[in-house]
Structure 1
């Protein structure tokens, strides 16, 4: 009888442990999505689908539809629209705002038949603008999104009122970043196999990350693990895009460069390459921030961008 009770107790304990391991990160995801939903409503953003030729892109949109100027925000590789949420709240009073989930990211599905190089992604941004009857916009991009913003400024200048490049990929850095050293050794920090690897990677993305409870970080880690194969394919397309060093002088739209000096993914030395290559480009750096200033210091970085946009109506 005692053995039966013991075995039953062990079985219940094991079942609870399995249930907890499965549901715990899922709860973290639900908490994250609920919090994002509440915040976006507070900030005047709403979720909307944008249909283009090869994708059904999810977005957040906000601000007055009759606004004279529009701001389009483009996330980086492996990221999604949520990174812009608090930053975007500073724009919705005066600007129409469009925040996209690029194909293969966030709520926009990955399709192995698509190309994910920055020229192709830039074309999709233009198609999204067409679908929403946006003739011109201020384009703000972070990391890969900055590379895409620069491609838009280069190939679709008539659609770009100004471009803001935040820790942008797309040029050869004079000095190697921590990520560049890892890639040279044969390891891609974005390819996550377990939660410990994610924590190591997450520490590289920001110097001043917003607080997130462990269950949300574990949910994010599991999501990276599930998406590893698709992210690897996207990275290959994106990373094999031709860099823009030799073509920077062809960019003639107003450009603002923002950079966190503690960026471990893309070295701060890249900022000078962008600035010296693009005529009249402005540069602002943040000594205490990393790769994602718009997420680490949304109010400060938004104020700097708003000041820049005011000069280029």
Structure 2
């Protein structure tokens, strides 16, 4: 498994296929395996890179001094430099889109295309932010995501009609339940506070290349509803797509639809 040391910590990533580069940046609380359907399809024609966020998957702890999504974007750029990738199409879902926008704004010459999925780059609405921060405090204090908290957290990521006995749902729940206390306290909780305490970059969306940008989200995404996707698409001046029968992790709830949209977007950009 390939790793690169960035800011003193090992960042884990996968690098599969050849061709124009695509960087897949996933959701908080998920690792790069969430992209399995897209990696399988896209790597037939493209060089696909997918990274594990700090404290997630096989990556090391959140590096000391990492305080904002701008830091996460800078660290991702260090990965691209390490891989000698000059230009990349970035597909960012949830927090991946939040720091992905910051990367695109800081080094537009490195971005070939940008897909923002199930994400929002405005500030978190205050009631939601306070609610999430209260959950982080509970996790920090106990060192575990309790069954009661799992009942709250896990459904956030899926459409309301999902079968809670499905493998997708149960596997995610089991992964969260198994997170060790030190990882939760040193990486997961601080990363959550960085994510939901983010600053507002909505005013800068007009700087993005509208012709090279697409916004999309699950039509039943609860934490990042379609209204936010439409708002961002209008500010950018780019198209948007709603993923049918999908919640927050839309690429896994409707993988065929998402993969088709991504392949069409990539074909236009390359």
Q: Aligned residue for 2:179?
A: 223
Q: What TM-score, normalized by structure 1, do the two folds share?
A: 0.75
Alpha-carbon distance in 2 for matches of 1:143, 1:213: 18
Are the structure 2 counterparts of residues 193 and 57 from structure 1 closer, same or farther at C-alpha, using a change threshold of 3 Å? closer
Which of 144, 156, 167 lines up with 1:211 in the alignment?
A: 167
Q: Does 1:304 align with 2:261?
A: yes
Whether the aligned pair in 1 keeps the contact of 2:7 and 2:63 (CA below 8 Å) is no
Distance between the aligned counterparts of 1:81 and 1:193, measured in 2?
21
2:129–2:196 Cα contact (<8 Å) kept: no
Q: What is the distance in 2 between the residues matched to 1:295 and 1:169?
A: 19
Which whole-Å deviations, capped at 9, do the CAs of 1:48-88 have from their partners, x for residues lacking one?
A: 11233443211111002xx2x11000112222111111221
Distance 2:122 2:198 in 1: 11
Q: Report SS of the residue matched to 1:71.
A: strand
CA contact (8 A) 1:245 1:273 kept: no
Query: Which residue is equivalent to 2:94?
Result: 143
- Alignment check: 8 A CA contact 1:251 1:278 kept: yes
Mapped contact 1:162–1:312 kept (Cα < 8 A): yes
Matched, 1:194 2:152: no
Equivalent residue of 2:232, what SS? helix
Asked if residue 52 in structure 1 is aligned to residue 6 in structure 2, the reply is yes
Partner of 1:17: none
Pairwise CA distance, 1:252: 1.9
1:89-126 Cα shifts (integer Å, max 9, x gaps)? 11011000100112232211114613142111111111
Is there any run of 5+ residues in structure 1 with no aligned partner, and where?
A: 1-46
The Cα of 1:232 is off from its aligned counterpart by 2.0
Comparing 49-58 and 86-95, the one that deviates more:
49-58
Larger Rg: 1
Matched, 1:261 2:219: yes
Mapped to 1, the partners of 2:63 and 2:5 lie a distance apart of: 18
Shift of 1:133: 0.8
TM-score when scaled to structure 2?
A: 0.86
Q: How does 1:269-308 map to 2 (within 5 A)?
A: 269-279=227-237, 281-308=238-265
Which residue of the partner structure matches residue 130 of structure 1? 81
> Does the aligned pair in 2 maintain the 1:193–1:225 contact within 8 Å?
no
Return the match for 2:60 from 106, 109, 113: 109
For 1:215 and 1:275, the matched residues in 2 are separated by 33
CA–CA separation in structure 1 for the residues paired with 2:129 and 2:200? 17
TM-fit CA distance, 1:184: 4.2
C-alpha offsets along residues 15-44 of structure 1, whole Å, 9 cap, x if unaligned? xxxxxxxxxxxxxxxxxxxxxxxxxxxxxx
Question: Post-superposition shift, 1:309?
Answer: 1.4
Decide whether the 8 Å contact of 1:182 with 1:189 is kept in 2.
no
Counterpart-to-counterpart distance in 1, 2:59 and 2:69: 16
Kindly tell me: are residues 219 and 70 of structure 1, through their superposed partners in 2, closer, same or farther at Cα, counting changes over 3 Å?
A: closer
